[in-house]
């Protein structure tokens, strides 16, 4: 165990140094890790005429593939075990209490609650980039999750972005809404059809505690402009058009659509503990406020085929996000400058197959 910890620390330090020096963290002649087997045998052919958003496989039924094709998401009931979820919950609590400090992790919290609750889960509403936390990162390697991920990405899978959300009780301040958005806005890699999010409920998620809300079929639309719009709370699920930066309610990088089409129907995803939804990065979605006295936890990872490629976001709608993210990383690591690709190389982990481009 001590050797594993030493290796983890050395790898973390090397990746951090690579980010700050603008160097690629991947050695040129690194050996390809052994593939993690799954029960889904997937063809590398994107589709067989009928399906554009999933790959031919032996796991999904025709009905499931058609549902994802039409709606941009697929809900699998009771996929992750209670035992695993409890382990993730305990590790999250340890991180909140600062008993463990994984390198590179970003902890978002409500500072106004610290005097009342101290360093605890009553203050932290999200941890992300937990790729260096061995326990939480197990989620990204669970065979029961990867076998579904493979149906959308193919056999060579990268874990690109990790989050554990702890939606705090928020009935009066409305601090922790996430406006309707498309996840592809955050990602400088393509193609979108080979990216998928796995989002697992760690307890019951419903309209009262701020469950996910999706607009089915919007994965077939283009990437839309995002930012910090003026927040207007709507009656449907407490969702609105966004938050204005600096108004005291803004969560950093919680961008929303600048021009939301209110005529598109919204669907609340009611989920029980262990249920997992897989969704396309262009699907418009968000979450409302938690009107209960408890928490609403979820754990998620965005996966991508390692055959995806990075793009230059300059002169695109994603350019302002690049600048904001670079500023945050430079401040966190006391760096003068950093490249967007290096930030993502630091986050990315191969979880199955071979590393090709990402």
- pTM here is 0.81
Percent of the chain with pLDDT over 90: 56
Beta bridge partners of 198: 278, 301
Q: Could you tell me if 6 and 326 are in contact, meaning their C-beta atoms sit under 8 angstroms apart?
A: no
Mean of per-residue pLDDT scores for the chain: 81
In whole angstroms, what is the distance from residue 302 CA to residue 152 CA? 12
Query: Is 52-234+251-352 assigned to CATH 2.70.98.10?
Result: no
User: Tens digits of per-residue pLDDT, 255-312?
Assistant: 788 888 889 999 999 999 999 999 999 999 999 889 999 999 999 999 999 999 999 9
Beta bridge partners of 127: 107, 164
In whole angstroms, what is the distance from residue 146 CA to residue 151 CA? 9
User: Tens digits of per-residue pLDDT, 132-181?
Assistant: 999 999 999 999 999 999 999 999 999 999 999 999 887 555 555 678 99
Is the pLDDT at 25 greater than 70, yes or no? no
Every domain of the chain and the residues it spans: 52-234+251-352
Q: Which two three-digit tokens encode residue 125?
A: 């509403």
Q: What mean pLDDT is predicted for residues 99-128?
A: 75
- Location of structure tokens 């300059």: 314
In whole angstroms, what is the distance from residue 134 CA to residue 26 CA? 20
């Amino acid at each position: 165990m001590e050797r594993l910890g030493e290796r983890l620390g050395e790898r973390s330090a090397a990746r951090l140094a690579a980010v700050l020096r603008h160097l690629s963290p991947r050695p040129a002649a690194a050996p390809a890790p052994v593939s993690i087997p799954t029960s889904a045998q997937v063809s590398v052919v994107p589709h067989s005429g009928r399906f554009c958003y999933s790959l031919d496989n032996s796991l999904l039924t025709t009905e499931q593939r058609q549902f994802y094709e039409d709606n941009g998401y697929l809900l699998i009931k009771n996929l992750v075990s209670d035992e695993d979820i409890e382990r993730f919950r305990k590790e999250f609590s340890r991180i909140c209490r600062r008993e463990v400090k994984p390198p590179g992790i970003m902890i978002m919290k409500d500072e106004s609650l610290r005097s009342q609750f101290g360093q605890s889960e009553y203050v932290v509403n999200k941890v992300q980039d937990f790729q260096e936390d061995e326990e939480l990162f197990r989620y990204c390697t669970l065979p029961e999750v990867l076998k579904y991920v493979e149906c959308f990405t193919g056999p060579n899978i990268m874990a690109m972005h990790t989050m554990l959300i702890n939606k705090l009780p928020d009935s009066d301040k409305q601090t922790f809404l996430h406006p309707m958005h498309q996840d592809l806005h955050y990602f400088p890699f393509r193609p979108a059809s080979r990216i998928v999010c796995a989002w697992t409920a760690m307890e019951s998620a419903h309209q009262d505690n701020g469950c996910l809300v999706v607009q089915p079929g919007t994965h077939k639309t283009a990437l839309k402009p995002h930012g910090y719009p003026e927040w207007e709370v709507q009656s449907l699920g407490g969702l609105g058009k966004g938050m204005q930066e600096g108004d005291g309610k803004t969560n950093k990088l919680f961008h929303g659509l600048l021009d939301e089409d209110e005529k598109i129907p919204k669907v609340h995803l009611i989920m029980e503990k262990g249920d997992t939804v897989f969704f396309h990065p262009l699907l418009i979605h968000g979450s409302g406020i938690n009107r209960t006295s408890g928490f609403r936890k979820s754990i998620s990872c965005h996966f991508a085929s390692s055959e995806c490629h990075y793009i230059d976001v300059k002169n695109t709608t994603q350019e302002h996000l690049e600048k904001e993210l670079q500023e945050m990383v430079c401040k966190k690591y006391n760096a003068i400058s950093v490249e967007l690709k290096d930030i993502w190389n630091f986050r990315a982990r191969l979880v199955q197959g071979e590393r090709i481009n990402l």
